[in-house]
Amino acid sequence: MDEELEKLRKKKLQELQQQAALQENLEEQEEQKKQYDEQKKAILRSILTTEARERLGRIKIARPEIVESIENQLIMLAQSGQLKSKITDQELLILLQKIIPKKRDIKIKRR
């Protein structure tokens, strides 16, 4: 009886340790994601004008997957030194028009 109780205690202790390690790992990943997001925001602040950041924020609400790829491309350009000045709203708009697929206009003619 005592052996079984001791085995159960050890098993329960091991399970709790595994859960604690898993929780710690999740918290660590969350912290790394926060740091990455903060670095990303800082870089975008330095390479985009206020109007361009606002436009990107509005588009992020509607199409977050597209904005994510645009942000990554802009950061890569900035880190490689290909950007000479801040990207204005007009330049961002041109970039977005190239990236975002154009919608087809469907016209129905009735006879």
Q: pLDDT class for 82, splitting at 50, 70, 90?
A: confident
Task: Give the model's pLDDT for residue 65.
Answer: 87
The CATH number that applies at residue 34 is 1.10.8.140
Per-residue confidence at 61, pLDDT binned at 50, 70, 90? very high
Q: How far apart are CA 66 and CA 59, in angstroms?
A: 8
Q: What is the DSSP letter of 87?
A: B
Q: Residue 31 in 3-state DSSP?
A: helix
Number of domains in the chain: 1
Tell me the whole-structure pTM to 2 decimals: 0.66
CB atoms within 10 A of CB 64: 9
- Calculate what percentage of the chain has a pLDDT beyond 90: 41
In this structure, is residue 109 part of a structural domain? no
pLDDT band at residue 102 under the 50/70/90 scheme: confident
Full residue range of the structural domain in which residue 70 is found? 2-96
**Is 81 part of any domain?**
yes
Examine residue 62 and state whether it is found in any structural domain, yes or no: yes
